Amino acid sequence: MRSSFPTLNATNLKTALVEGNKVISYAALNLRCDRFATGLLRGKADLEEERIAFFMPASIDYVTTMQGIWRAGGIAVPLNVASAVTELEHYLSSASVSRMIANGEYRESLTALCASLNIELLSVEEILSEDVATLPDVALERRAMMLFTSGTTNKPKGVVSTHKTIAAQITTLLDAWQWSESDAIPLFLPVHHIHGIINILSCGLWAGATVDLYAKFDMPEICAKVASKRYSVFMAVPTIYVKLLQYFETLGEDDVAKITEGFRSMRLNISGSAACPVKLFEQWKALTDQVLLERYGMTEIGMGLSNPYVGERRAGHVGQPLPGVDAQLFDDSNTPITEENTPGEIRIKGDNVFLEYWNNEAATKESFVDGWFCTGDVAVLDKGYFRIMGRSSVDIIKSGGYKLSALEIEGTLLTHDDIAEVAVIGVEDETWGESVSAFVVLKPTKTLSYDALKTWCDGKMSGYKIPKSLHVLDSLPRNAMGKVTKPALKTLAT
């Protein structure tokens, strides 16, 4: 059976995507995806799960590439365009990527890396064929996409979803949040993570709605569109709602009124990817009358828990399992927790759960217990709603909706010539949720300023991973086993 988005067909003339002044209908997009798939196939019947990476911001070309790879039977590997090029090497080699698609300056930035890894580098135009060949029937059980997530170890793992996983992740949200073809939504989140890929782009396209594509979070431009009442749904991470509130403070009353009126007229505002503080929930409600719908998800599961579309959306809570998703709290001895207000790890079952970590059977096995995927997030049930308490690992930092591995950042900082020891933690922060803070012990006689460290980090890690503060210590606090006691560092940071 060929997997496909029902609305992406030859007869649907409705607008699918808007990218600046480019507008494309579902029918035209469908044809473009078929032409792209044909070009990728180069006469072969099926790509047979060839890993094809692409390095593009949200754009018509991005959607063409993703859908084209799916239609030709490949595995789509969307990469973070904000990555430092050196960070890409691990993704590309661990996924054994054979072809990379990128345009313009993005393409140029990859020339040396692709040559060194023997990866063929192509633009979308080079692949698009004139005609359309017969495309393979891609079974729903086949692998479709690989996204990289920060693990607790220092090497990000490839999370593999099948066509069936993706369809389940999309369709549960279409029902739960009442998507329809009359919806219009802006997409300004990065498109290498499920929030942008599944919740916004894929749900929008599957529903037959219109998705406005932005290469980045362009606040004035997006606010102008909101003020024009173009959108019915808005989805963002908490940091974006904080940044919008900060932006409003810089504007005159009339402008703020127009933008908040635009939000007020929408049918739904959603927050997720990180905890939405109760204060922010209240501020947003006071200003826009929108009761933020908070939901909980993860790369490995898509969305798992959600406040209801109709019914009580409770501040500080992430609601209940979505249709088709089983969620259960477990204690340390793998016993289900049924009573309220008792913390346990959230575990998830359902068609929405990913297939495997790429080429890593051990990690895949370790992350499941009795068929339940272990999220590593701790929650309680509070009057029937899940409330997230935090993560079981201090080495995962949630900054502006990104999940960052403290160990990965520490690994890079340790390559600095003057740093002898390092520990990285997340420190509570009103804008970012948590902000990355580095504690270092320097080699004898060395000094290091924050600005010098920041400059050194440029190009060695994605900008959002660069520590926002630096503390130089004589020694790091350690326990009897010699392990750094990160909770002790949290008190030093405040």
Q: Residue 404 is encoded by which pair of tokens?
A: 């960052």
Classified as helix, coil or strand, 398 is strand
We find the least distance from the C-beta atom of residue 107 to ligand MLC, in angstroms, to be 21
Half-sphere exposure of 134 toward its Cβ, with a 13 Å CA cutoff?
Answer: 3
Quick one: what does residue 349 bind among ligand MLC, ligand AMP, none, with the CB cut-off 5 to 8 Å set by partner type? none
We find the least distance from the C-beta atom of residue 374 to ligand AMP, in angstroms, to be 11
Torsions phi, psi of 431, nearest 5?
Answer: -85, -50
Gap between the Cα atoms of 422 and 414, Å rounded: 7
> Considering the rule CB under 6 A, would residue 3 count as an interface residue with ligand AMP?
no
Q: Which of 61, 212, 294, 395 is the binder for ligand AMP (CB under 6 A)?
A: 294
Gap between the Cα atoms of 228 and 58, Å rounded: 22
Q: Tell the burial category of 102 from Cβ atoms under 10 Å away from its Cβ (0-12, 13-18, 19+).
A: buried
Looking at residue 252, its amino acid is G
Number of residues that bind ligand AMP (CB under 6 A): 18
CB neighbour list of residue 212: distance below 8 Å, 6 or more residues apart: 17, 18, 19, 184, 185, 186, 187, 225, 230, 231
Q: Which of 192, 391, 416, 465 is the binder for ligand AMP (CB under 6 A)?
A: 391
Could you list the residues that contact ligand MLC (CB under 6 A)? 189-190, 193-196, 216-217, 237, 239-240, 243, 272-273, 297-299, 399-402, 432, 463-464
Tell which positions 136-155 bind ligand AMP, by CB under 6 A.
Answer: 149
Quick one: what does residue 225 bind among ligand MLC, ligand AMP, none, with the CB cut-off 5 to 8 Å set by partner type? none
Which of 102/274 has CB closer to ligand AMP? Answer: 274
What dihedral do alpha carbons 286, 288, 290, 293 form, nearest 10°?
-90
Q: How far is CA 155 from CA 91, 239, 357, in A?
A: 9, 26, 12
> Considering the rule CB under 6 A, would residue 297 count as an interface residue with ligand AMP?
yes
> Considering the rule CB under 6 A, would residue 403 count as an interface residue with ligand AMP?
yes
Which among 327, 332, 356, 357 is positioned nearest to 342, based on CA atoms? 332
Quick one: what does residue 437 bind among ligand AMP, ligand MLC, none, with the CB cut-off 5 to 8 Å set by partner type? none
**Strand pairing report for 233-236 and 344-349:** unpaired
Which of 4/299 has CB closer to ligand MLC? Answer: 299
> Considering the rule CB under 6 A, would residue 299 count as an interface residue with ligand AMP?
yes
Quick one: what does residue 240 bind among ligand MLC, ligand AMP, none, with the CB cut-off 5 to 8 Å set by partner type? ligand MLC
DSSP assignment letter at 199:
I
Q: Which of these segments, 219-227, 271-279, 334-342, 414-422, binds ligand AMP (CB under 6 A)?
A: 271-279
Which of 324/477 has CB closer to ligand MLC? Answer: 324
Quick one: what does residue 463 bind among ligand AMP, ligand MLC, none, with the CB cut-off 5 to 8 Å set by partner type? ligand MLC
List contacts with ligand AMP (CB under 6 A): 149, 193, 272-275, 294, 296-299, 318, 375, 377, 388, 391, 398, 403
